[in-house]
Chains A and B, each alone.
Chain A
Amino acid sequence: MSLLTKLGIWARDLFRVKQSERELDAELRFDVAQRVEANVRAGMSREEAELSARREFGGVELTKEECRDANGARWLQDVWQDVRFGARMLRKNPGFTAVAVLTLALGIGATTAIFSVINTVLLRPLPYADAANLVLIQNTYASATVANFPKVGLSPGDFFDWRGRVREFSDMGAYSNVSGGFNLTGMGDLQRVSAAYASSNLLSLLGVHFIAGRNFGPEDEKVGGARSIILSHRLWQSRFSADPGAVGRIVNLDGAGYTIAGVLPADFSLVRGADLWMGISQFDDDLASRVHHDFTTVARLKPGVTLAQAQQEIETLNHQALRDFPDTHKNFGVSVEQLQDPASAKMRAPLLVLMGVVLFVLLIACANIVNLLLARNAVRRRETALRAALGASSSRLVRQQLTESMLLAFVGGILGLALAWIGFQILARLAPPDLASVKAAGLHGWVLAFAFGICFLSGIISGVVPAFRSVKTDLNSVLKEESKSSSSGSSQRLQGVLVVSQIALALIPLISAGLLIRSFRRLMSVDPGFRTDHVLTMEAPQPDIPFAVANKMTVAQFLKLSRRQALEFEQTAARIQSLPGVLRVGGITVLPLASELRSASRFVIEGRPIPDAGVRPVAQTRTASLDYFAAMQIPLVEGRVFSPTDWTETNAVINETMARRFWPKGDALGKRVNVCSLDPQPCWSSIIGIVGDVSQFNLDAAPTFDIYYSGGWPRYFVIRTAANPAMLTAAAIAEIHKSNLELPVAQIQTLDDLLSSSVAPRQFSMLLLTIFAGIALLLAVGGVYGVMSYAVSQRTREIGVRVALGAQQRDVLRIVIGRGARLTLAGIVVGLAASFAVTRYLGSLLYQVRPTDPVTFLGVPILFVLVALLACWIPARRAARVDPITALRTD
């Protein structure tokens, strides 16, 4: 018989249990009736006949039982029966059930929520065709490493050269997002848009399906060729009302016309910030350059080619390039790695830590269920023993127990999914913008399968020990026992072990959370180098001067232009400053606490030996307005800040770290540095002042060397106000618009907001870890409380005897709390040892706090002990109040 037919019969039987029972009954009754009739015919009296027939037949119930066994559907019927029985038992103990279900719901919900995020962020492949074969090719710094940015893109020269020569790759494309952006004019409001540049094959190599239009063509790679752009889905919707007819239209960017060639799909996330893409020929640099590493290179491996083979080939190409261009290639290595979403890569560490923590939470929850079931089974021992005595096989009893814990787990699981869903709503609201992918996480597909698996596992884990223990009990002694029950020594030991492991398991996330909280406090106590309160910032960029135009300008022309721009900025700033409530207005090209590398240069110092190009130190270069330092309250350490005369001279202000590192004797003023190419001739600038250090990147980033220049248009307005800065937004924008410069205003935020969004990812992981550690603490302490309460209720009689014999309340308290304290301390010792071994995996999540930070390793256990003692104290007090007379009368 085929499996399908069998399943069919089982299913039919399962749903017709009652009917098949009736049939079986009828069949056997018929047999007995026939016998009776035969006996009557043989001459017996009716009574005799019936008696004899029953004797002949033997045990009807036993026969029925065996017939049911012979029917294959037996186990399914049993399961059904067990489920109904289990549900009845759970309904009978609503308190127990509620606690157990809630505990499991917390564990399962937390695990499911985090898994769902992991599923979305780490496990989901990139939204490109056959993403497993896509790799990222980068240059590495062979010797000196640049803090925060250890890898860079390829140079345009290398990219075009290598693309034509690779054999292990089926295609190789590049993009660059080094762009100040463009002012989009002509349709509606003036808008600032950011552009990225793509080689013509990049989008087809990724397998992007265009919503409308087409990809770039070969003519888009020729300098002076076609000027096409491809719109992001976002810009297409906001600016072109999602009109497919936008394709073919001409738009005006910084005064030049570009034809819309196509529209990208919504899920395209390469260079998230890019509003539109341009052909690589529009890239503002020399496409034969081997100096600027601006081309992020993505390539597709030929089928069967390994990463190692690919790496080998690129290394060979790099060696050849080194022979041909020793100056530019001396200090660069290459790396080939799997392409991944950079935002995902950033979240990997915190997510894995969180997953570990929620698994601990789940285990603690399961241990609680084990304890609850053990306690309840102790009460139900007589019932179990009775069923065993009446012939229930031990495997049947185990199954019954497992069914019950499974039922708890699945009801808990359903509630857990609800909790996870609520958790998501909160998570999505709390998630910082660059962790936006968290919002895409949800409860579907694999996540539900995972939750199902976790429920099943929890059911097994929490049911198996109580089940086997309940079977092991000695029937005779249980049934003979007069008293309701008193838990045996071995069961007390088991509960002790469970409590100890719960505490140990909870201590690890608590200590981790403690370390993260301390890291975050350290981070928040870092002085960013400027006052963040009462400052409004906004970006109002002028169109960039095209590279080709700038290249042809003489130094005199360039200075004249930058003086004009600086003057325009100061005039606008003066108008804003005249607004009531405004204290100081400054400008800067890149705001501090930047999330990406925007403007940096290698530099050399006059009169010192000139290092090789690749090992020259890197400085962050900024253009500041006259009042920038004052508006930001960045202290002047030495010398002076900029005055209008510096617009026509090349003078520079540097930061303290740079001064101390390169002029330790304090003689930096008046020295000259160069950030331009040395060929044909350097452009020296004299140091006129030294200002305090500023966190140019995150608060936890290593200090940078900073060089400030003056002259030119510094894009960002920095407005220090007397009162709430946000209230001045509209007035400040109005003043900028009055300047007749046709400037788009964007990125309006206060410095306080900027600061909090720069620490948001850390804060987010700290917050989540703390929440889960709190749940772990709650569950573990709940476990301690449960076991102690149970122990007290079991020992009421004993305590009564002690009190009757003269024990004081104090003594009783000591007995109960003593046991609780011993268990807690044992758990803490184990937990501390485990934490020592584990916390180093927190790695990059910590900031200036060692993984074995003594304050945390001391403070958290003390806190834990206090809470646990409180949990013991409640049952202890109940024990101390035991009235000996009632206690001795019970049972």
Chain B
Amino acid sequence: MNPIKTDLLQGTLDLLILKTVALGPQHGYGISLRIQQISRDALQVRQGSLYPALHRLERRGWIAAEWGDSENNRRAKFYKITRTGRRQLEVEETNWERLAVAIAQVLKTVES
């Protein structure tokens, strides 16, 4: 399966990041790796999109950053989800599901 390298919709990338950090604090590289793994290489987030998105989410207060030591004992910036971020994640998840259902509906109609 070819990885999707297209620019994800901005909201979609935010949703993926929020979901990933909701699983536990993670640094930027780790986040991109985890998205790639979970999507079984289907989604590859470009660093040029990931880091600005992380800074944007931090600015909005949905995730918080903290410097800590990585697995191989390097200083790394870890992101973790905040309480407002968690609420936002719920909202976005619902929105996404609704959107996915709606799009699926539309596609079916067109095919029939």
Contacts and interface: CB of A to CB of B under 8 A. Distances in A.
B60 interface: yes
Majority-rule SS of A interface residues: helix
Contacts of B56: 70
Contacts of A37: 72
Given A27-B77, A30-B74, A35-B29, A70 B48 contact: no
Residue picked from B28, B51, B70, most chain A C-beta under 10 Å? B51
A27 B51 contact: yes
Nearest to B27: A30
A71 B61 contact: no
B75 A67 contact: no
Contacts of B28: 27, 30-31
Contact of A63 (B29, B48, B76): B48
B29 A66 contact: no
Nearest to B74: A30
A70 B75 contact: no
A71 B58 CA distance: 9
A56 B29 CA distance: 12
Residue picked from A37, A56, A70, most chain B C-beta under 10 Å? A70
A26 interface: yes
A761 B55 CA distance: 66
Nearest to A58: B48
Contact of B59 (A57, A58, A63, A71): A71
Nearest to A63: B48
Interface string A44-84: 00000000000011110011001101111000000000000
Given A23-B77, A63-B51, A70 B59 contact: yes
B47 A63 contact: yes
Nearest to A23: B77
A28 interface: yes
A37 B52 CA distance: 23
Nearest to B71: A34
B29 A1 contact: no
Interface string A252-266: 000000000000000
A9 B77 contact: no
A761 B14 CA distance: 73
A144 interface: no
Contacts of A837: none
B88 to A, nearest CB: 12
B47 A66 contact: no
Interface residues of A, number: 24
A33 interface: yes
A9 B75 CA distance: 23
Interface string B40-67: 0000001110011101100111000001
A30 B52 contact: no
B52 to A, nearest CB: 4
Contacts of B53: 70
A26 B70 CA distance: 13
A34 B29 contact: yes
Interface string A15-49: 00000000100111011011101000000000000
Contacts of B52: 63, 66-67, 69-70
Interface string B1-35: 00000000000000000000000000111000000
Contacts of B76: 27, 30
Interface string A475-488: 00000000000000
Contact of B51 (A1, A26, A66): A66
A66 B51 CA distance: 8
Contacts, number: 58
B60 A1 contact: yes
Contacts of B70: 30, 34
Contact of A30 (B46, B60, B75): B75
A9 B65 CA distance: 14
B47 A57 contact: yes
Contact of B47 (A26, A33, A58, A71): A58
Contacts of A70: 52-53, 55-56, 59
Contacts of A23: 67, 77
Contacts of B47: 28, 31, 56-58, 63
A31 B55 CA distance: 15
A9 B48 contact: no
B59 A26 contact: no
A27 B60 CA distance: 19
A67 B51 contact: yes
Interface in A761-796: none
B55 A1 contact: no
A19 to B, nearest CB: 12
A1 B24 CA distance: 23
A216 to B, nearest CB: 68
B48 A62 contact: yes
A26 B48 contact: no
A38 to B, nearest CB: 8
A58 B60 contact: no
B75 A26 contact: yes
B61 A66 contact: no
Nearest to A35: B29
Contacts of A31: 27-29, 47, 51
B17 to A, nearest CB: 13
Interface string B73-90: 011110000000000000
Contacts of B75: 26, 30
A170 to B, nearest CB: 57
A30 B55 contact: no
Contacts of B55: 67, 70-71
24 contacts: A1-B60, A23-B67, A23-B77, A27-B77, A28-B47, A28-B51, A30-B27, A30-B29, A30-B70, A30-B74, A31-B27, A31-B51, A33-B74, A34-B29, A35-B29, A37-B72, A58-B46, A58-B47, A59-B48, A63-B48, A63-B52, A67-B51, A67-B52, A71-B55
Interface of B: 27-29, 46-48, 51-53, 55-56, 59-61, 67, 70, 72, 74-77
Given A34-B29, A66-B48, 8 more contacts: A23-B67, A30-B70, A34-B70, A57-B47, A58-B46, A58-B47, A58-B48, A70-B56
Interface of A: 1, 9, 23, 26-28, 30-31, 33-35, 37, 56-59, 62-63, 66-67, 69-72
Closest 6 CB pairs of A and B: A70-B55, A66-B52, A70-B56, A34-B29, A70-B52, A31-B29
